[in-house]
Structure 1
Amino acid sequence: MKWTNALSTRSSLEAAVKEVVEQAQQSLDAPADLGLVFISSAFASEYSRLMPLLQEYLSVPALIGCGGGGIIGMNRQNTTQEIEGEPALSLTLAHLPGVTVRAFHIASEDLPDLDSAPNTWVNLIGVEPADQPQFILLSDPFTSGINDLIEGLDYAYPGASKIGGLASGSGMGAGIGLFSDYQLHRDGTVGLALSGNIIMETIVAQGCRPIGQTYRVSAGERNVVLGLEEQAIGCGKSRTPLEVLRELIQSLSEEDRQLAQNSLFVGVARDEFKQELDRGDFLIRTLLGVEPKAGAIAIGDRVRPGQRIQFHLRDARTSAEDLEMLLERYQRQASSTGLPAGVGALMFSCVGRGEGLYGKANFDSQLFSQYLNNIPLSGFFCNGEIGPVCGSTFLHGYTSVFGICRQA
C-alpha cells in the first residue's frame, strides 16, 4: 500500500495540474487506484477546466474532489502546508492492493426517505455492508439533505468510518465545485467507498473545553432546553438553564467570562451509559439564544429529557490543546497495538480555524505531523466537517477531522 500527495501554488491552472501530476506519479511509482483532488476557490472560474486537464495527464479508476477556500497538502520539501485564500492545487494518489474503491455522486433529489429500508441506501451506494466499507464524503454546502445522507449511511452501514466536509468558497460568491470520475458537479455529494484491505481511523478535534459540571436535561422540546438538574437524578430540583448559566458565568475567571460572551457552546453527551465523561464524549453544538422569560436556551441540535449536557468554551489555546491531546492519545494507542502504521491521511478543517484562529499558518496540519510524521496529509478548509462522535456520524463546525488510512 502506497500513498502520496503533491501540492502546487502556481497561479496557472495548466502549470499547477502538470506539476502535481508529475510529482505525485513520480513519488507513487505504482499504478494509482484512487485519486483525491482539492482546488482553491481562487480557481473557481476555471473549475470546468480542471477535469479535462487532469484527464490529459492522469488515468485513475476512482477520482473525487472539491473546491475549498483553503487547501492542505505536502510541498516540495515534504512538509505540510495550508494555503488560504491563494491559488493552490492538491493531488493525492494511492496504490491500494486488495482494496475495492467505488466513487459515486448522489444528487439531493435521489436521496431515499429516512423511513426507507437499509437496502435502499445500499442500492444507492452500490456496496454491500458485509464488505465493511469506509467512506469519504464531499458535499455541496447548500444541499439540504447532507444530514439525511449521513443518517442514512449510519443506518445502512453501522460501524463504518465516514469523514469529509462541505465544499467552501472564497466568501465572495465563488461557485462550488464537486468532482467525481472526471465530471464536474455543482450540487449533491460525491464520495468514495473503500473496502477490503484498508482501515480508516478517525480523529475529531472539536476544539472546546468543558466548564462547570454536567447537567441532565429535565425538560426539553425540539432544540430548546427548558430545565436542568445536576447529573445524579434526585440530587436536586430542576432549574432553568438561564439560572444555571448565570451562576456558572459568575464562577469563571475574568478571562473566561470575556470568552463566554462570544465563544460559549453546549456539549451534548452521546454515550448514555458512560459514567465519567471526557472531552471526546460530547457533541459540541452552538448556543443559539436565550429566552429570558422562560429561562430557556436554544441549541443547534435536538434535545430530550434525560440527556446530559455541559457548557464549553472555545479559543485558540483550547483548540490547540484539544487536538494535541487527541493526537497524543492516538499515537499512544497505535504504538501499543503493533498494528500496521498509517500510510496516508486526510484533513477536513473548518474555515473558522487556520490562520484566522491561531494567528499563524499551518498550525493543525503541522501539529498532526509532529505526532504522526512521514504520513502524507492532504485536505481542505470546509463549510462544515463530517466525522464520528461515539460511533455516530455528525456534521460539525469549527472542527478538524482527520482520517488515517492503514492496511487492515
Structure 2
Amino acid sequence: MPDRHGSRHRRALHAPPAGGVSPRRRPEGAAAISEHPLPTHATGDVLGEVLDQLGPRPDLAVVTVTGNHAGALEDVARTAATVLQPRVLLGAASASVIGGHREVEQSPAIAVWAARLGRVEPVRVRTARLDDGWAVTGLPATAADGPRTLVLFADPHSFPTDGVLDQLGETCPELQVVGGLVAGALGPGGARLVLDDEVHTGGAVGVLLEPGADVETVVSHGARAVGDPLVVTRVDGRHVLELAGQPAIDRLREVLESLDPAERTVAAGGLQIGIVIDEGRAEFGRDDFRIRPMVGADMASGAVVVGDALDVGQTIQFHLRDALGADDDLRAALAGRSAAGALVVTSTARGHRLFGYPDHDADVISTLTGSRATGGIFTEGEIAPVGGRNLLHTSSTGILLVGPERA
C-alpha cells in the first residue's frame, strides 16, 4: 500500500529505451508527472521516471510546474539540467500542467517531458517598451535553411504576441510557432520562464528545432460554427456595426433564434467569433477561422463587440464553445494521426472548467495518437499556425506532435 505521498502521486508514460538515435529516425519521448507536495520529492519522482524511460541527454527537456511550486522552479530547473543533461531545457510555471494522461489543475504538481528529435537551439526573446510600441530582440533572423519549428513560452504581460507573430510572418514565412502565454503570472515580473538552468521573469523563451524536424502542429479551437458566414459591412475598431448590410445585433438575434434550447443555454454563457483567415476560399471549415471572444453587444448602436479589431470586408461567423463541441473538434483534429510524443498547450478555459472533469485533453491526445509521451501546460493564449499563419488563439489546444504518422 503506497503512502500518502508515495507512488500514487506519480503518473508516467513509458517510452522506448534510449540509444544512439539519428535525427532522421523516428523520435523517442518520455513524460512523467508527480503531485507530491514537496518540490524536492516531486522533482526526484519525475526525473527518475524520465531517466528510466529515455535515459540521459535528450535533445529537449520541458519542465513545467504549477503555481504552488513556482518559488522552487529555479532549483527544479538546475536539478533537471544536471540530472538529464539535455541539449536545451525549456520550461515555465503555470496554473496547471500536463503529464501523460493526467492534467493537474491548481494544485501542486511537477511534470517533465523529454524527447530525442534532432538538433535544437535555445531562443531567448527580450522585449522593451518604446514610445511607439515594443523593441524585440532574440528572434530567429531567417528561415533560409528550410522550414523550421519554434516552441515558445511567453509572459502575457511583457510579450507583444501579435506583433511578434506578424514580424516573424514577414522575416521567416516558413517558420511555424507553437506555444503559449503562461497562465498564473499576476502582473509584470510575475512570470517564471526556464531556459537551460536560468529562470526569467519576462519576454519569452523557446527552442528552435532543426530544419525538417519530424514534427507536426495541430490546433483544436474547441468551438463550432453556427449560422452562416457574414461579411463585415460597417465597423469601428472592435465594434462591428453591420454584418451583410444589416445591424450586427439583428444578425446576432437571427443566429440565436436558429439555435435549439440547449444551444441557447450554451450561447448565454458567451459566444465566440470566428474570423476567416483566407478570404479567397469559397467555403470555410474548422481550420479556416481565428477564434476570438464576443465581448458584448451595444444595444444603442446595434453593434456586436469583438475581442479583436476588424476591417470592412472581413468575414466572420458566430461560434459556440461547449464540452461536446470541444471534444468533437479535438477528435477531428487528431483523426488518423499517431505520434511518438505530444507537447501540449491548452487553455485555462478548458480542463475541468469546460468538461466538468479532469484530464480530458491529455487523455484524448494520448489515446488517439498512441503517444507514450504527452506533456505541457495550461495557458492564457495559445500560439499555433492555422491557414499558413502563426496566430494567437483563445480557448484552444495547440499540439506539437513528435514523430507524427498519418493513417
Q: Which TM-score bucket, shorter chain as reference?
A: 0.7 to 0.9
Sort the Cα spacing of 1:374 and 1:228 in 2 relative to 1 into closer, same or farther, 3 A. Answer: closer
Residue by residue, what CA displacement relative to the aligned partner does 1:207-264 show, whole Å, maximum 9, x if unpaired? 11111111111122322222221xxxxxxxx111011112222222222222222221
Partner of 1:356: 353
Partner of 2:115: 94
| Alpha-carbon separation, structure 1, partners of 2:170 and 2:403 | 25
1:23 to 10, 34, 49: 49
Matched-pair contact (CA < 8 Å) for 2:188–2:202: no
**Further displaced range: 370-379 or 126-135:** 126-135
Give matches, 1:362-401, under 5 Å.
362-401=359-398
Show structure 2 runs of 5+ residues with no match.
Answer: 1-26
| Alpha-carbon separation, structure 1, partners of 2:301 and 2:187 | 40
Residue by residue, what CA displacement relative to the aligned partner does 1:241-292 show, whole Å, maximum 9, x if unpaired? 0111122222222222222222211111111111111122111111122222
2:157 to 142, 165, 175: 142
Sort the Cα spacing of 1:261 and 1:174 in 2 relative to 1 into closer, same or farther, 3 A. Answer: farther
Residue type matched to 2:67 in 1?
S
Alignment of 1:274 with 2:271, yes or no, is no
| Alpha-carbon separation, structure 2, partners of 1:172 and 1:189 | 15
| Alpha-carbon separation, structure 2, partners of 1:114 and 1:393 | 20
Sort the Cα spacing of 1:115 and 1:89 in 2 relative to 1 into closer, same or farther, 3 A. Answer: closer
Partner of 2:193: 178
Partner of 2:17: none
Q: Matched residue pairs, number?
A: 378
Partner of 2:39: 13
Residue type matched to 1:281 in 2?
D
Residue type matched to 1:242 in 2?
I
| Alpha-carbon separation, structure 2, partners of 1:148 and 1:389 | 17
Give matches, 1:126-275, under 5 Å.
128-169=143-184, 175-229=190-244, 238-275=245-282
Residue type matched to 1:106 in 2?
V
Alignment of 1:36 with 2:50, yes or no, is no
Q: Secondary structure at the match of 2:119?
A: strand
Matched-pair contact (CA < 8 Å) for 1:369–1:375: yes
Partner of 2:402: 405
Q: What TM-score do the two structures reach when normalised by structure 2?
A: 0.86
Cα distance, 1:155 vs structure 2: 2.0
Matched-pair contact (CA < 8 Å) for 1:143–1:187: yes
Partner of 2:330: 323
| Alpha-carbon separation, structure 2, partners of 1:19 and 1:351 | 26
Residue by residue, what CA displacement relative to the aligned partner does 1:39-96 show, whole Å, maximum 9, x if unpaired? 111112222322233344232221110011111112xxxxx11111222111122223
State the identity %.
28
1:69 to 89, 92, 95: 95
Q: Secondary structure at the match of 1:294?
A: coil
Residue by residue, what CA displacement relative to the aligned partner does 1:335-367 show, whole Å, maximum 9, x if unpaired? xxxxxx632211111111111211111111111
Cα distance, 1:32 vs structure 2: 1.5
Partner of 2:105: 84
Partner of 1:77: none
Residue by residue, what CA displacement relative to the aligned partner does 1:83-134 show, whole Å, maximum 9, x if unpaired? 11222111122223xx3211122121299x9999xxx97x743664324220
Q: What TM-score do the two structures reach when normalised by structure 1?
A: 0.86
Alignment of 1:283 with 2:290, yes or no, is yes
| Alpha-carbon separation, structure 1, partners of 2:187 and 2:392 | 24
Partner of 1:103: 122
Matched-pair contact (CA < 8 Å) for 1:34–1:95: yes
Q: Secondary structure at the match of 1:108?
A: strand
Residue type matched to 2:108 in 1?
P
Partner of 1:345: 342
Cα distance, 1:196 vs structure 2: 3.3
| Alpha-carbon separation, structure 1, partners of 2:403 and 2:129 | 32
More strand by share: 2
Matched-pair contact (CA < 8 Å) for 1:127–1:133: no
Cα distance, 1:159 vs structure 2: 3.1
| Alpha-carbon separation, structure 2, partners of 1:388 and 1:173 | 27
Show structure 1 runs of 5+ residues with no match.
Answer: 75-79, 230-237, 335-340
Q: Secondary structure at the match of 1:383?
A: strand
Q: Secondary structure at the match of 1:302?
A: coil
Matched-pair contact (CA < 8 Å) for 2:128–2:134: no
More helix by share: 1
Residue type matched to 1:20 in 2?
V
Cα distance, 1:181 vs structure 2: 1.3
1:304 to 311, 321, 324: 311
CA-based RMSD of the aligned residues comes to 2.6
| Alpha-carbon separation, structure 2, partners of 1:110 and 1:376 | 38
| Alpha-carbon separation, structure 2, partners of 1:109 and 1:174 | 13
Residue by residue, what CA displacement relative to the aligned partner does 1:302-321 show, whole Å, maximum 9, x if unpaired? 21122111111111111111
Partner of 1:338: none
Q: Secondary structure at the match of 1:256?
A: helix
| Alpha-carbon separation, structure 1, partners of 2:228 and 2:285 | 12
Cα distance, 1:180 vs structure 2: 0.3
Sort the Cα spacing of 1:212 and 1:167 in 2 relative to 1 into closer, same or farther, 3 A. Answer: same
